[in-house]
Amino acid sequence: MSAAVLSRRSFLHTTGAAAGGLMVGFHVPGLAAAGAAPELNAWVQVLPDESVVIRIARSEMGQGTLTGLAQLVAEELECDWAKVKTEYPTPGQNLARNRAWGSMSTGGSRGVRESHEYVRKGGALARALLIQAAANRWNVSVVECATASGWVLHGGRKLSYGSLAAEAAGLAAPADIELKPVKDWTLAGRPLKRLDTRAKLDGSQVYGMDMQLPGLLNAAIKDCPVFGGRLKSFDATEVEKRPGVKKVVRVGDTAVAVVADTWWRAKTALEALPIVWDEGPHAKLSSADVAAMLKAGLDAPEAAVGSSQGDVAAALAGAARKVEAVYSTPHQNHATMEVMNATAKWTPERCEVWTPTQNGEAALAAAAEAAGLPPSACEVYKLHLGGGFGRRGAVHDWVRQAVAIARELPGTPVKLIWSREEDMTHGRYHPVTQCKLTAGLDAAGKMTALHMRISGQSIVAGLFPQNIRDGKDPAVFQGLNAGGAEGALGYALPHLLIDHAMRNPPVPPGFWRGVNLNQNAIYLECFIDEVAHAAKRDPLELRRELLANSPKHLAVLNAVAAKAGWGRPRAQGRHLGLAQIMGFGSYVAACAEVSVSKKGELKIHRIVAATDPGHAVNPQQIAAQVEGSFVYGLSAALFGEITIKDGRVEQRNFDSYPVVRMEHMPAVETICMPSGGFWGGVGEPTIAVAAPAVLNAIFMATGKRIRDLPLSKHSLA
C-alpha cells in the first residue's frame, strides 16, 4: 500500500448511518458513493473483479490477527480465499459510524477471542444478502440457494458474488443471522498461508518508518533522561545553521526536537544541541532503591487480597514443615524492532497521523488532544507494526509528540522517529515485582497451605489510576485467580492467600507482552517445584495431585510431559523442567530440556509446549506464535533487565539489552490441542511458561535455584 493510497482512503463517506450499536453497524443501505464499489456491510466489500475486501479493525504486528480474522469472515461468507484482500478501517470512520467495527484495541491476545462473534456475523450477513439478491433475480426462495467459493448456486445455475454485489448492497439486512457450527468450518481451522507474507518478503509492505508524503520533513527528539525531570533550556543558535535543519522545537515541558530534511541530519543536529535539564526529584534513584522499596512490601501489614481460601495463618502455624522462598523479576523494555514513530500533518482545520498503533482509537484521541481539535477533525491511518508487545497500546506519547512538532510547521507533514536510545530509555516498562511464598506441608508431605505475597508495581495504577478500587489492581493476579478467563489458578489447596502490596517506583509501567502472567508463572511454578523437592515428591506427580479437579490444566501438563519423555531415560546430562499456567483464556504448559556444562554453560535443547485455546482458527499461526513467544520469553529470562542509575535507564541499545540469538534458541515442539467450547488467546500465554520451565530444568541439572532474573547475572558452574 502506498502512502498516497492510505491518505485518501474513503470507503465510508456516508457517516452516521449505522446508529444504534455494533449489530446494526453491519449493514448500511445505500452507503456507497457514486462510482465506488458497493459495500455489503462494515466488514465486507465485493469488487466487480470478484475480489473481496475484508476490513480488519484489529492491528497486525506479526501475530497473524489479520489473517485469522479474515479467515473467520471468509468462512461465513463462503468466498474464494484466493481473492481475499484486507484493509484497515480508520478510527475516525469507526467513530463516525458509531463504532461499527467495535474495539480497535489489539493486546492481551484479544484480537480473535474478543471479536470472533461479530466478525463472523459480518461475513454471514454479507452472504445472506448475496443469496437474497440471487434469489430475487431468479425469482426463487432463498432456502433453495446455496453458496460456494464466491458463487450463489441454484440447481445448475450460478451467479458470482461480483455480479450480485450492487444489488445485495441495496437490500435490507435480515433480522437473524445464524453462524456455522465449528464442525462445519472449511476455511477457518485450517493452516492457511498468511495474507501479509508476500508484501513483507518483496518489500512492498509500508511500515511507519517507510512513510513518504510530498514535502515530508523529518524529526528527531530527545526527552529528559531522568524520570520526572523536565527540559530547562536549550541553545539552538548554532544547530539551526546546519545544512537541512528547518527548526528546533520545544515539545511540552520535557523534550526538544530538531526538524530537518533528513532524519540523520535531524538526529546529528540534536546530538550537538546544548541542552540543560532539570532532573527533578528522582535524580538519584537507583535499582537498589527500588528493590528496597519492594522488599519492605513483602512483610507489610496492608495488602490487597486477590484469592483467599481457608485460614492460611493457622494452617502455616500448624504445619509439620514450611517451605519459604523469595523471587523477583526486573523492569524490562518492549524493545520492538521498529522504534516509536509517527507522521503527522496539522492545519488549524484538520490533523492527520500515520502510525503503527495497537489501538487506533487511542491514537486518535491522543492526536486530537495534541492537535487542539475535536476527534471529528482528525484522522489516524493505521499501519502494520514492526513489533508492538504492548508498547504501542495504551500510551501514545510518540503520537502526541509528532502532532506537537507538526503544529510548529502548519501544512507540512513531519515524520518523527525515535532513536534506539530514546526508545530504550523512554519506554513503558514491564513492572518490577518481588514475591515471598510460604507453603505448609503436613506430616505425609502433602501441601496444605500457600501464601503468596507479591510486592511491586501496578500497571493499572500507572496508566489508569481511576480503575484502582480499594487499593486493588485485579490485573496483578493474572493466573492466580479463583476462576475466570484472564487466568484461573488450577491448583486446589484447602488454605490459600494471594495478596499484593502495591509499591510504585517512579519508573513508568506498561503492558509488556504476557503482562503479569509472566512473573506470576515464575513465582508459582518454580515454587511448586521447590515444594516438590522439599517433600521428596516428583514435580509432575505433585502437580497432578493439586490439579486433579482442573482437567484442562492437567491435560496440557500431561501432554508436554508425555511428549518430552518425563520419567523416561534420556541422554546423559540432559534434564527436564515443567511449568503450566492458565491465562488470556488459554491453558498452556511447557517442558524444557537443558544441559549445563562443567563450565556453567547453559544449553536449552528443546521446549515442548502445549496450548489449549478452545478453538483453533489457524493451527500453523498458533505454532508460529508459540515459537515466537519463546523467543520473547527466553530473551527476558536469559538477558532482559532494565536497571536504573541516577534516575535514568542504563541500557541504551541492544549491546547492553541483548535478545536471544540463533545459538540460544531451542527447538520448539508445539502441541495444539483445542478442546472447544471457548475462545482463548494465543500470542501471550506461552511466554509465561518459558522461564519457569527452564529454571526448573536448571535446578534438576545443577541443584541451583535461580530466584531472580535474568540468568545472565548468575553463574551455573
The residues of the chain scoring below 50 in pLDDT are 1-35
Q: Is the pTM of this model over 0.95?
A: no
Query: Which letter, b or e, does each residue of 150-177 get, where b requires 16 or more Cβ atoms within 10 Å of its Cβ?
Result: bbbbbeeebbbbbbbbebbbebebeeeb
Residue with cell 499461526: 621
How far is 496 from 447, CA to CA, in rounded Å? 11
Q: Does 657 lie in the same domain as 625?
A: yes
Same domain, 683 and 550: yes
Cβ(480)–Cβ(528) below 8 Å? no
Cα 383 from chain centroid (whole Å): 16
pLDDT at 572: 95
Contacts for 192 with CB less than 8 Å, ≥ 6 apart? 67, 71, 81, 618, 620
Q: State the DSSP string of 609-676.
A: EEEE-SS-S-HHHHHHHHHHHHHHHHHHHHT--B-EETTEES--STTTS----GGGPPEEEEEE---S
Which among 413, 354, 405, 368 has a CA at the least distance from the CA of 221? Answer: 405
CA pair distance 387, 14, nearest whole angstrom: 34
In a 3-state reduction of DSSP, which class is residue 245?
strand
- Closest Cα to residue 101, out of 13, 25, 178? 25
Among candidate residues 193, 226, 257, the one where a domain is terminated? 193
Name the 3-class secondary structure at 223. Answer: strand
Q: What is the total residue count of the chain?
A: 717
Distance CA 694, CA 634 (A): 9
How far is 659 from 414, CA to CA, in rounded Å? Answer: 32
Assess whether 437 and 390 both reside in one domain: no
| Residue 203 in domain | no
Whether the Cβ atoms of residue 351 and residue 368 lie closer than 8 Å to each other: yes
The one-letter amino acid at 391: R
Query: Are residue 381 and residue 481 in the same domain, yes or no?
Result: no
417, 447, 481 - which closes a domain: 417
Whether the upstream peptide bond of residue 91 has omega within 30° of 0, thus cis, is: no
Rounded distance between C-alpha atoms, residue 213 and residue 415, angstroms: 9
Domain-located, residue 70: yes
Domain that holds residue 82: 3-193
38 assigned to some structural domain: yes
pLDDT at residue 485 in the model: 66
- Tell me, what's the pLDDT at 487? 76
Name the E strands within 303-420.
304-309, 321-329, 341-346, 351-356, 378-383, 414-417
Judge if 514 and 410 occupy the same domain: no
CATH number reported for the structural domain that contains residue 677 in this entry: 3.30.365.10
Clarify whether residues 231 and 377 are in a common domain. Answer: yes
Candidates 686, 41, 306; CA nearest to 694 is 686
Let me know if residue 422 belongs to a domain. Answer: no
Q: Are residues 443 and 372 in the same domain?
A: no
Show Cβ contacts of residue 203 under 8 Å, excluding neighbours closer than 6 positions: none
Domain count, the chain: 3
447 and 370 within one domain: no
| 225 in the same domain as 109 | no
| 242 and 367 belong to one structural domain | yes
Of the residues 378, 393, 417, the one at which a domain ends: 417
Q: Is residue 423 part of a domain?
A: no
Q: Is the same domain home to 43 and 95?
A: yes
Note whether 174 and 82 are same-domain residues: yes
Q: Is residue 140 part of a domain?
A: yes
Axis-axis angle for helices 116-138, 161-169 (nearest 10): 100
Cβ count within 10 A of residue 391: 26
Task: Tell whether the torsion through CA atoms of 140, 141, 143 and 149 is positive or negative.
Answer: positive
Q: What is the pLDDT of residues 397-417, one digit of tens each?
A: 999 999 999 999 999 999 999
**pLDDT value at position 28?**
33
Does 199 fall in a domain? Answer: no
Cell triple for residue 396?
501514545
Residue 578 CB-half CA count within 13 A: 26
CA atoms within 13 A on the CB side of 482: 10
CA atoms of 532 and 603, how far apart (whole Å): 24
> 647: phi > 0 → left, psi -120 to 50 → alpha, else beta; which?
left
How many CB atoms within 10 Å of residue 567?
12
Q: Is 452:498 a contact under the CB 8 Å cutoff?
A: yes
d(CA 380, CA 395): 15
3-state secondary structure 282-313: HCCCCHHHHHHHHHHHCCCCCCEEEEEECCHH
Residue 202 lies in a domain: no
Cell numbers found for residue 162 = 461480483
